[in-house]
Amino acid sequence: MPTHIIIFGPPGSGKGTFSGRLTNIFPQFEHISTGDIFRENLKNETPLGKKAKEYMEKGELVPNSLTNDLVKDKLEQIEEKSWILDGYPRNMNQVEFLDKHAKIDLFLLLEVPRDVIKKRILGRFSCPECGEIYNKYTLQPEKKIGNEKWICDKCGAEIEFRQRSDDSEETLNNRLDVYEENAEPIIQHYKEKDKLKKIDAEDTLELTEKELKDILEI
Ligand code: AMP
């Protein structure tokens, strides 16, 4: 039976990094990130990207009508597989939609203090070639070649620090407010279904394979 996991937490709690680590170690899981899908569409200026742009730039949620269909299509494409869903659901409408289309085995809540989140998000950047994620405060590439310039550890491309367009301080505050407004009933929903597991996510990169297996119950 495929396993279906939701990774939930505030922006900057490390959902993407944690999911990436899980899928590296457990390749049977497909990683679906609605934020990545929207960013890809924005970059390629697709019709979906054009519709999502104004919301993303303000740190607001893209309307459910667009987001739900996108997730449904994606889940239909990988029906028989195990997956990790990151960045969805973000409100109760999305929770109800997801309940209709998938069986959820585990809801992982990543918990991180607010000051740590701010450093993580405002320092975050990625390799323009391969997408590897770094942080200028906590996770710089090994080889520095200038002021805020490095060589990507993974693919060797030159990288200059550039904040993600939805990572400004103002957008971040708005995203944190949006998260807090919506999070409580979502967490409660999965708690009542006995699917909730809380993770201290300050150092998820330190977790061993055995600890990750225990978390995923696989
Ligand atoms: P993320 O990287 O997950 O924080 O997503 C970046 C942006 O994409 C968010 O600020 C939203 O504008 C949009 N987005 C991602 N996931 C969702 C979702 N489930 N519902 C609505 N908007 C979303």
Q: What is the pLDDT of residues 142-177, one digit of tens each?
A: 999 999 999 999 999 999 999 887 788 888 988 898
Q: What is the pLDDT of residues 2-13, one digit of tens each?
A: 999 999 999 889
pLDDT number for residue 110: 96
HSE value, Cβ hemisphere, 13 Å, CA-based, for 51: 9
Q: Annotated catalytic, 15?
A: yes
Closest Cα to atom 11 of ligand 1: 61
pLDDT number for residue 218: 81
Q: 4-113+170-216 maps to which CATH number?
A: 3.40.50.300
pLDDT number for residue 95: 98
Separation between Cα atoms, residue 217 and residue 215, nearest integer Å? 5
- The verdict on the CB of residue 38 being under 6 Å from ligand 1 is yes
Q: What is the pLDDT of residues 60-101, one digit of tens each?
A: 899 999 999 999 999 999 988 999 999 999 999 999 999 999
Closest Cα to atom 8 of ligand 1: 35
Q: Annotated catalytic, 162?
A: no
pLDDT number for residue 7: 97
- The verdict on the CB of residue 124 being under 6 Å from ligand 1 is no
Domain parsing of the chain, residue ranges = 4-113+170-216
Percent of the chain residues past pLDDT 90, beyond the cut: 74
Of 8, 61, 126, the one to substitute when testing ligand 1's pocket (max ligand atoms within 8 A of C-beta) is 61
* Residues 192-208, mean pLDDT to the nearest whole number: 91
Residue 129 near residue 31, CB atoms below 8 Å: no
Select from 177, 139, 141 the least CA-distant residue to 159. Answer: 141
* Residues 28-41, mean pLDDT to the nearest whole number: 94
- The verdict on the CB of residue 61 being under 6 Å from ligand 1 is yes
Question: Which residues is 108 bridged to in the sheet?
Answer: 7, 197
pLDDT number for residue 138: 85
Phi, psi angles (nearest 5°) of residue 91: -155, 175
pLDDT number for residue 171: 87
List 58, 74, 118, 124, catalytic entry: 124
Q: Which residues of 6-21 are buried (b: 16+ CB within 10 A; e: fewer)?
A: bbbbbbbbbbbbbbbb
CA of 27 to the centre of ligand 1 (A): 24
Specify the higher pLDDT residue, 218 or 108: 108
Separation between Cα atoms, residue 203 and residue 47, nearest integer Å? 38
pLDDT number for residue 87: 95
pLDDT number for residue 164: 80
List 74, 164, 191, 195, catalytic entry: 164
pLDDT number for residue 205: 76
Q: What is the pLDDT of residues 120-135, one digit of tens each?
A: 889 989 999 998 989 9
pTM: 0.84
pLDDT number for residue 198: 96
